[in-house]
Amino acid sequence: MDVSFRDKWLEMCGIIGYNGDKDIFDILRKGLKRLEYRGYDSSGISLQKNSELVIKKSVGQVNELFKKISETELGGSKSGIAHTRWATHGKVTEINSHPHTSCQKRLAVVHNGIIENHEEIRSQLENNHLIRSETDTEIIAHYLEEKLEKGNTVIESLQEFHTEAEGTYAVLVQKKGREKIFALKNKSPLVIGYADHGNFISSDIYAFSNHTEKSIFLKDGDTAEVTENTYKVYNKDRKEATRSIKNIKWSQTENKRNFGHYMIKEVYEIPKTVEKLVKSVKNHQSSEFQKFAEKIRQKEKVVITGCGSSFHAAKIGEKILRRKGFNVRALNAVETDETDFSEETLTVAVSQSGETMDVLDTVEQAINKGSEIFSIVNVPYSTVQRKSSTTINLLAGQEICVASTKTFVNQVLVFKMLSKILDGEKTDESNLASGLRKVIEEDAMVERVSEKLVDEEKIYVLGSSVEYPLAKELALKLKEITYTHSEGLRAGEMKHGTLALVEKGTKIIGLSKKLSQIENSLEEAKSRGAEIFPITMEELGLEGLEEFTELFIATLGFVLTYKIAKKRGLPIDKPRNLAKSVTVR
Ligand code: GLU
């Protein structure tokens, strides 16, 4: 596959390994289920059993894999690795699913990421190898096998591989007959979980956070070996290294409770997560907010960066802070280069997962130019956070639905709170949560609008001023969740071109604090046959709470999108082709 094309692919999967006493079938099944939100076209496991590697794979969701395996088949094993794949190289087939094995099946490998130069590595192998799949991953198993045959250990072979491989990779390896998991990390996350009953290693703390809070984050170039009771880490210079144990609380429930989908469950959680963040500004995150405010005052320029919904939150942040007179620019992380940064720039990275590759690239550019990094993230101890000197945690809890909802609202709220701190204003958010509850629960208007939009193939969303990024955000949600072609425009922009697409019955949503701010644009479209749907604070019956308009309108947009997608019977939590965090370029 052509590299430039391939690099545009999204990639995200999850890996988990466990050595220990607990029922391995249950641990790996639940671990994979907890990782499934990251990517999900196929899955597989490898278990050490009676000195053999037992490997099972399946296309589709994790349940499909476990339907194929009986508990007795796997029982008694104490060491296993597992994978949910989000294909980057090779079709979604059982053969291409991980784990991949070496010719003699002495090694099993799971991999998250891309080996850019897999073809080159393949051409340099000395022996003839039986390559079974179309993936970039399989070459790792054959490469390691050759090195083992020359007398290297698995760790040495992985270290050799690291010197030759280009790309991003978190790799777990099992060797036949050894109750040990070997690992290598480069630019994809990998973390060891240290529990009473055994040790985990995974791309995501969430895979094991129901068993232990003790987490050991690996660095790029690290190799590691994990057994039931021990773990050893070697740094990129191949020396044994100490990596501290962090205690991480991240065991949210992944239960949908009575909600049909995670998306709507997470929307219903918005009022609570908002309250939690507001409280933290006055308590345990007060010093972080103060540091942010001080730095914004000090620096010549502030660059806020993010991708997708996080970029839209960054745009809202830009508008809020520019109004206060600060030199702030929001840049989409896919577009930045080093010229955007200097020692005088404060870079603020906004991300749900803290692992988005494009954001990490931007952070690297900023670091190279001497810029200080602050971040606003939801997943604690994520890579973005670890690269920042100060972080505000979004405290939105686990978000399973691919589309961001409660995280987005808290991202915007962070900027609103910062703006108040910069003004030295006393904050009063006492009616915020109840206003949000009203938007979510009193949904007759949204229901009506969703009925009107359910059969539409294209929808335009207009926004004035701060509501412009919200229009982009709603359009993005309509694309991701309802598969409707939609475009978010600044009110006033339509007449410069897009109006040519307006005909009788074209549906246009207008977002604004007050109808008067958007009325002209909507009327222009209406007089050309468009059907218009203004969403304003008056419409919502929330006059008096205008200060938080963005949060109310964003939330309403989520409910609307959800309703349309539900009526269409779409896979709301896991839209086709998308993954929760996007960890390649
Ligand atoms: N590049 C590998 C593949 O396509 C791994 C993808 C992933 O991270 O799931 O199989």
Decide if 84 is inside a domain.
yes
Q: Is 272 within a domain?
A: yes
Structure tokens at 3: 């590299």
31 and 165 share one domain: yes
Is 547 in the same domain as 506? yes
Report the pLDDT value the prediction gives residue 99, as an integer from 0 to 100: 98
Query: What residues contact 122, with CB distance under 8 A and at least 6 apart?
Result: 131, 139, 142
Asked if the model's pLDDT at residue 111 lies above 60, the reply is yes
Give residue-wise pLDDT tens across range 177-191.
Answer: 999 999 999 988 899
pLDDT score at 400 = 85
Mean pLDDT over 552-571 rounds to 96
The pLDDT, as a whole number, for residue 539 is: 87
- 100-123 average pLDDT score: 95
Domain match, 194 and 330 both: no
Indicate which residue of 8, 13, 369, 387 is catalytic. 13
Task: For residue range 369-388, list pLDDT tens digits in order.
Answer: 999 999 999 987 788 988 89
Mean pLDDT, the chain, integer: 91
Q: Would 115 be classed as within a structural domain?
A: yes
Residues 278 and 292 in one domain: yes
Find, among 79, 17, 15, the residue nearest to 48 by Cα.
79
pLDDT at position 379 = 85
Residue-wise pLDDT for 30-56, tens only, equals 999 888 766 678 999 999 988 899 999
What spatial distance separates the first Cα and last Cα of the chain, rounded to whole Å?
Answer: 15
**Of the residues 89, 119, 584, which should be mutated to test ligand 1's pocket, given the most ligand atoms within 8 Å of the CB?**
89
According to DSSP, the residues that pair with 174 across neighbouring strands are: 108
Task: Report how far ligand 1's centroid is from the alpha carbon of 382 (Å).
Answer: 21
Share of the chain above pLDDT 70, in %: 95
CA of 480 to the centre of ligand 1 (A): 22
The pLDDT of residue 443: 87
Q: Which of 378, 411, 428 is the last residue of a domain?
A: 428
* Residue-wise pLDDT tens digits, 128-164: 999 999 999 999 999 999 999 999 999 999 999 999 9
452-488 burial: b if 16+ Cβ within 10 Å, else e: ebeebeebbbbbbebbbbbbbbbbbbbbbbbebebbb
Residues paired with residue 191 on neighbouring β-strands, in sequence order: 202, 217
Q: How far away, in angstroms, is 40 Cα from ligand 1 center?
A: 11
Look up residue 47 and give its two tokens: 């278990």
Is 482 contained in some domain? yes
Q: How far is the centre of ligand 1, averaged over its atoms, from the C-alpha of 94 (Å)?
A: 13
353 and 387 both lie in a single domain: yes
Q: Are residues 441 and 387 in the same domain?
A: no
Over range 326-349, report the average pLDDT: 97
Domain assignment present for residue 403? The answer is: yes
Specify whether 86 is located in the same domain as 205: yes
Q: Ligand 1 center to residue 85 CA distance, Å?
A: 6
Query: Into how many domains does the chain fold?
Result: 3
In a domain, 1, yes or no: no
Q: E-assigned strands of 120-272?
A: 167-175, 181-186, 191-195, 198-202, 214-217, 223-226, 231-234, 240-241, 246-247
Residue 331 has pLDDT above 50, yes or no: yes
Atom 8 in ligand 1: residue holding the nearest Cα:
112
- Binning pLDDT at 50, 70 and 90, where does residue 4 land? very low
Is residue 143 included in any domain, yes or no?
Answer: yes
Catalytic site residue 563? no
Same domain, 423 and 437: no
Q: Whole domain around residue 320: which residue ranges?
A: 251-428
Q: Give the CATH number of the domain where residue 333 resides.
A: 3.40.50.10490
d(CA 103, CA 133): 12
Same-domain check for residues 368 and 416: yes
Ligand 1: which atom is nearest the Cα of residue 112? 8
- CA 89 to ligand 1: nearest atom: 4
Dump the DSSP string for 348-372.
Answer: EEEESSS--HHHHHHHHHHHHTT-E
Q: Flag whether pLDDT at 9 surpasses 50.
A: no
pLDDT over 70 (residue 8): no
Residues 301 and 376 in one domain: yes
Atom from ligand 1 closest to the CA of residue 113: 8
| Active-site residue, from 438, 479, 507, 580 | 580
Same domain, 231 and 261: no
Atom of ligand 1 lying closest to residue 85 CA: 9
Of 380, 402, 428, the residue that ends a domain is 428
Q: For residues 142 and 282, which has the higher predicted lDDT (pLDDT)?
A: 142
For residue 12, the ligand 1 atom closest to its alpha carbon is 8
Please give the pLDDT value at position 583. Answer: 58
Last residue of a domain, one of 247, 275, 310: 247
List the structure tokens of 318.
């830009």
- Which CATH number belongs to the domain containing residue 91 in this structure? 3.60.20.10
Same domain, 169 and 316: no
Q: Is a pLDDT exceeding 50 seen at residue 1?
A: no
Q: Kindly state the average pLDDT of the residues 192-217.
A: 93
| Residue 2 is assigned to a structural domain of this protein | no
For ligand 1, the distance from its centroid to the CA atom of residue 89, given in whole angstroms, is: 6
**Region 50-67: what's the mean pLDDT?**
91
Count of other CB atoms within 10 angstroms of residue 312:
30
Residue 401 appears among annotated catalytic residues: no
Closest-CA residue to 416 (of 319, 280, 348, 556): 319
Pocket of ligand 1 (CB under 6 A): 11, 13, 39, 85-90, 111-114, 135-137
Write the pLDDT tens digit of every residue in 222-280: 999 999 999 999 999 999 999 999 887 765 555 676 788 999 999 999 999 999 999 99
Q: Any residues with CB less than 8 A from the CB of 364 and at least 6 apart, and which?
A: none
